[in-house]
Structure 1
């Protein structure tokens, strides 16, 4: 429940601390005094949008804080624990909002700065505010459906329906995309299939091109290799008249001979000897190479053809021959992907059918529950209407299962397949019609209040605020409204901003809002009324500014009742 509200420099409030009690609290005051200012400040603590004009004139910022007791509020405690925002006193939760004169704002939960959205999330678990214009919303179809679902606690059923509807829409979008690109994929598939077939037939293996390139160069230059190798061998060893090895051997022997006489030639002798060995090895290797070098025209033709084909295919696909194998693999993957798309279309069609079946099952369960709950809620609201000075009032919730087709396809709604319509009859013999057609503004206000009181029992928040929801109500009807709100306060903290004495007198606590001015600045004050002052305030609400003994007696009688 709400324990305290602290307001600093907000609108026409300089400083205000309000302590709240359990049960029912009524807020009254003169017209224009700002009876709803505490509710507005509380709304900002709960994450409402802030504007620059909320800051008191000539002040830098407005500072608002609301303290809640959450000892019995399991959902709020769990939320705070989940977001690591539990305070030292884990039975309390403090929501704070600081708004600068420039319109910037900061949000805090238990002293930790948080995004504004988190104020809204925790606020939904702490308070439910009903405004004076709520009756304008209940004529809207989506609001009517929401009210019925709240009453019937349809969250699990709605979650299932929403899940299958979202899945259906997602699959439909994927199917539409695949079907739209089908013609393009077919043309692409033909081209890629041709390319893959061509490369399959050629069947170039990894690293094969580098081997081909070496073999091609060797075979295409084979005659030059033979001629140059033979000429070199002639010079090295095979020329009987003169060859390098024989001449070097003779030189080495001569120097080795005289090095024995003069050891200064030892290094030269070693160099010549080593050179002779190396040159002899080179000659042997070159002889072996010459003997192995073959000129096979048939083999060369095969190599030349395969090498040329690889170069042509690479040029055709605008890449280097070394990348041809990888390109071949990528084309195969693309072809497989296109084939998978075709298979995916068949799979999606099957999944859509299964999803439609699951959706219809969930939607039918939701429809059945809406019809059953609609009858129950209709009886409750009809009875409440009659108690609120509409003796012949009848209320009926029409639930029409309305599956729709669009472009030849069944449309699936995340909210189910029902159209909900609130229908009323105010006078005897009058047929039930859509509520907005037959109910006046005052009647709509009373019907809205009846719904709010009935539905409040279904609300999980421990605090309910009614902000002038009794506009357009008076006399015996007002007394019944007060009685219903007080009944509600047995299990829930109720805060009600009102101008009706019949409602104000039902509060366990009554706050009075007054406006003070010195001619230059205006300030709003909120004070808790004592029993004697409460009698005077109820009398003022009954009789206006001129309070008489008769109005005071009426006030005492109302409070006593």
Structure 2
């Protein structure tokens, strides 16, 4: 949900900070007041093309920030941010910011972290749908029609995705086996030689590190052997230091009771004996660990040389030789298994393909049934929107097998025909601006909560209509706004009366500078604005009375 919009130095807007809430928000104002500037500013924050002409005259740059509440940890915007390594915690706002310089160039930020305009645009499409005369996103993009139909149908697409993944894995295994057998057959002599060579050597995982460490200890022992021997000699034997300490302790023990100093000396001597004993044990352990065995050292160096030589020969790391041997043995086993192993893999791939086809066909059946229901639902919305001559259909078309995927075996696209006898065509190619917005509204109402962003903006959806049609548009916008945040730029008092919040866009001039501003209207000011929309510049009591009736009916 869009919670805030901050604009600085964009065309006629000097400084503007707006807050938005749930439900239907309407924006009104006289022609030329600057409604397009407001939408252009929001579009800039959502990743639209940066135009230096948007920078307010005399300023060096324009800045627009839009704040969103993603409402829930499962929002796809959070997943997109995580995929791109951006910080985004559930419950925290997502802030999109765009800076455009007067001399060209722009910068984009998400939560104050610099990003590309492309990522900003991708994220913006998940947060907001803007429907206007030239918009080509949201419901107009055929790539999203299949997902929208699946959501409308409450279809189980997970079974198809799982079946496709299993089929793909079985097919990959079969193709790999065929390639392995073909390659192995061509290199049979080399394969036998390599397996024999590695088997005789019998490499172990982690062997290089272990041998290198043992060699290093032995080489260190060779360097330390004289010093270590001298130290051990000082400890060992009847004349060694430890033996003499023990003899002294025994003699002192007989006389220690004769004087306190003697007792203290005995205690100190006992501690010395204990420490010396521990030192002797450590020295013995060090001597064993650093024991220099010339024959063992030579064997280690030979093994290391051969290990590294084999690794270079097979172009792998020394610790990967064991894995290479197992891989070569597996290839040899597949070669030996021959057609029998291939037959099993072929049977498995056929079974997985059959499972996928069954799941995809069930999904296609559900899609065709849902398409009929959706067509009927949209048809029921068209006549009240003055589109009674138009026809809508959901095309569910089988794809060639080469294009089957995790989403099934169908292509789905929404098409319309605006006049009797006219051919069906994609929405964006056949409808005029006003018709397009009303078609999108009819679709949105029919789809209800399924698909789309949490915030939708309709730009002059009521262009060229009035009376009952405008009332029908307002009623449907109000109904749709119960499920999502909706912002509408409108010239229709019937639509404006449906708003939960009403903002007036107006232009002011102080004799030197022209500015565009936005004011949130009170109940009284809202009544006056709707009356102005009904009667023009001169507001009459009759217009005010009609405004009251519209507000009461809403």
CA distance in 2 between counterparts of 1:447 and 1:9 reads 35
- Does the aligned pair in 2 maintain the 1:46–1:95 contact within 8 Å? no
Q: How far is 1:496 from its partner?
A: 0.9
CA deviation profile, 1:248-279 (whole Å, cap 9, x unmatched): xxxxxxxxxxxxxxxxxxxxxxxxxxxxxxxx
Q: How far is 1:16 from its partner?
A: 0.1
Q: How far is 1:551 from its partner?
A: 5.3
Distance 1:13 1:336, change over 3 A: same
CA distance in 1 between counterparts of 2:349 and 2:134 reads 43
Q: How far is 1:394 from its partner?
A: 5.5
Q: How far is 1:419 from its partner?
A: 3.6
Which residue does 1:337 correspond to in 2? 331
CA distance in 2 between counterparts of 1:74 and 1:184 reads 49
Q: Is 1:526 matched with 2:518?
A: yes
CA distance in 1 between counterparts of 2:418 and 2:476 reads 21
Which residue does 2:444 correspond to in 1? 452
Which residue does 2:24 correspond to in 1? 24
Extract unaligned runs of 5+ from structure 2: 203-312, 314-320
Distance 1:461 1:438, change over 3 A: closer
Which residue does 2:113 correspond to in 1? 113
CA distance in 2 between counterparts of 1:347 and 1:552 reads 82
Which residue does 1:514 correspond to in 2? 506
- Does the aligned pair in 1 maintain the 2:138–2:452 contact within 8 Å? no
1:159-238 matched pairs, under 5 angstroms: 159-165=158-164, 168=167, 186-189=185-188
Q: Secondary structure at the match of 1:514?
A: strand
Distance 1:19 1:425, change over 3 A: closer
Q: How far is 1:127 from its partner?
A: 4.5
CA deviation profile, 1:43-86 (whole Å, cap 9, x unmatched): 4545556555554444444433334567x645459959987645
Distance 1:74 1:179, change over 3 A: closer
Q: Is 1:404 matched with 2:400?
A: yes
Distance 1:415 1:22, change over 3 A: closer
CA distance in 2 between counterparts of 1:78 and 1:443 reads 30
- Does the aligned pair in 1 maintain the 2:44–2:98 contact within 8 Å? no
Equivalent residue in structure 2 for 1:482, among 450, 463, 474: 474
CA distance in 1 between counterparts of 2:26 and 2:418 reads 30
Q: Secondary structure at the match of 1:367?
A: helix
Q: Give the total of aligned pairs.
A: 426
CA distance in 1 between counterparts of 2:139 and 2:122 reads 24
Which residue does 1:420 correspond to in 2? 412
Distance 1:392 1:469, change over 3 A: closer
CA distance in 2 between counterparts of 1:530 and 1:521 reads 27
Equivalent residue in structure 2 for 1:352, among 338, 343, 349: 349
CA deviation profile, 1:156-202 (whole Å, cap 9, x unmatched): x3454345446655765676677578766543335656x679x89xx
Q: How far is 1:543 from its partner?
A: 5.3
CA distance in 2 between counterparts of 1:330 and 1:424 reads 60
Which residue does 1:305 correspond to in 2? none
Which residue does 2:318 correspond to in 1? none
Which residue does 2:306 correspond to in 1? none
CA distance in 2 between counterparts of 1:204 and 1:125 reads 60
Distance 1:63 1:529, change over 3 A: same
CA distance in 2 between counterparts of 1:556 and 1:501 reads 11
TM-score by length of 2: 0.60
Distance 1:63 1:422, change over 3 A: closer
Q: Secondary structure at the match of 1:496?
A: strand
Q: How far is 1:498 from its partner?
A: 2.0
Q: Secondary structure at the match of 2:487?
A: strand
- Does the aligned pair in 2 maintain the 1:22–1:493 contact within 8 Å? yes
Q: How far is 1:477 from its partner?
A: 1.4
Which residue does 1:380 correspond to in 2? 377
Q: Secondary structure at the match of 2:93?
A: strand
Which residue does 1:229 correspond to in 2? none
What do you get for the CA RMSD once the two structures are aligned? 4.9
CA distance in 1 between counterparts of 2:52 and 2:161 reads 39
Which residue does 1:315 correspond to in 2? none
Q: How far is 1:382 from its partner?
A: 1.4
- Does the aligned pair in 2 maintain the 1:23–1:508 contact within 8 Å? yes
- Does the aligned pair in 1 maintain the 2:415–2:426 contact within 8 Å? yes
- Does the aligned pair in 2 maintain the 1:75–1:125 contact within 8 Å? no
CA distance in 1 between counterparts of 2:76 and 2:324 reads 56
TM-score by length of 1: 0.60
Q: Is 1:97 matched with 2:94?
A: no
Distance 1:555 1:439, change over 3 A: farther
CA distance in 2 between counterparts of 1:113 and 1:136 reads 26
Q: Which moved more, 1:543-552 or 1:76-85?
A: 76-85
Distance 1:63 1:171, change over 3 A: farther
CA deviation profile, 1:435-471 (whole Å, cap 9, x unmatched): 7699753544422220123334235865433233444
CA distance in 1 between counterparts of 2:415 and 2:114 reads 44
CA distance in 2 between counterparts of 1:525 and 1:490 reads 28
CA distance in 1 between counterparts of 2:542 and 2:331 reads 90
Distance 1:170 1:516, change over 3 A: farther
Which residue does 1:363 correspond to in 2? 360
- Does the aligned pair in 2 maintain the 1:134–1:448 contact within 8 Å? no
CA distance in 2 between counterparts of 1:445 and 1:141 reads 16
Q: How far is 1:7 from its partner?
A: 1.7
Q: How far is 1:384 from its partner?
A: 0.8
CA distance in 2 between counterparts of 1:399 and 1:330 reads 49
CA distance in 2 between counterparts of 1:424 and 1:132 reads 16
Extract unaligned runs of 5+ from structure 1: 207-318, 320-326
Q: Is 1:14 matched with 2:6?
A: no
